[in-house]
Amino acid sequence: MTDIVLSEGEQIDDLQNGLFIIQKDHGFRFGTDAVLLSHFAHIKHNALVADLGCGTGIIALLLAKLNPSCHIKAVEIIGEMCEMARRSVALNSLQERIEVIECDVRNAWSALGVSRFDHVVSNPPYYSETAGKYPLEKNKQVSRTEKSMDIEDVCAAAKRLLKSRGRISLVFPAWRYNDAIDAMRENMIEPKRIRFVHDTLKHPASIVLLEGVKQGGRELTVLPPMILNEADGSHTEEWHEIYG
């Protein structure tokens, strides 16, 4: 493992799959949604992938592990998080396959090129700027609220970045499902696969995983629901399969 210098308040977390990631002790940290999205996305062999709003790089790292032939351009607007992501990429010796680029997602096409990408992935912010009190830390504000980008910005960027018939995979709150579908279709992206995620069988869906195709047809597959926990609080078999 490459020697990496940590800044104050940082730690190296073992992802238990041969990968490591640098995160703040107190600050934005990746969640279950990023892990589920990485497993949901069907990345083709030798695909060029754009990760929009990559944060500290968790999705890019997991995709590189799950899809050994893909190459990833990871976009993030916050310089500090870009720098952390770059060190995590180096920590895992993935510099040849993952490039972290500091730029605004809304202008990503100018840095990455138009109609070049086979797949776009994103875990966009879930909450509007007016949805309750902001987190005190700037990194959490940008990651959790639509302060620097929203679902419409992500889909508009994907429209420019993707080749014709290229794919986008998203994770988003289930209660904002309609917003995601509207944003996709406004940008020539047709929903193709949808899967709702529930904490338990008796809970309403908390998040939704969506895949769309640029200039795709109207056929849609609604997959069986994903249940994360049994009634007794233990994790389901599928949860264990995903987390290894």
Note down the domain range covering 148.
Answer: 10-167+177-188
Pairwise CA distance, residues 1 & 22, whole Å: 13
Domain tally, the chain: 1
Cβ-count burial of 158 within 10 angstroms (0-12 exposed, 13-18 middle, 19+ buried)? buried
In this prediction, the residues of the chain whose per-residue pLDDT falls under 70 are 1-2, 128-148
Place of tokens 């995590």: 88
Rounded to two decimals, what is the model's pTM? 0.90
User: What are 140-170's pLDDT values in tens digits?
Assistant: 444 444 456 999 999 999 999 999 999 999 9
Whether residue 55 lies inside any domain: the answer is: yes
Helix, strand, or coil (residue 155): helix
Q: What is the pLDDT of residue 145?
A: 44
How much is the pLDDT for 29? 83
73 domain-assigned: yes
- Report yes or no: 42 and 17 within 8 Å, Cβ to Cβ: no
Phi and psi angles of residue 140, each rounded to the nearest 5 degrees, phi first: -70, -35
Identify the CATH number of the domain in which residue 152 sits.
3.40.50.150
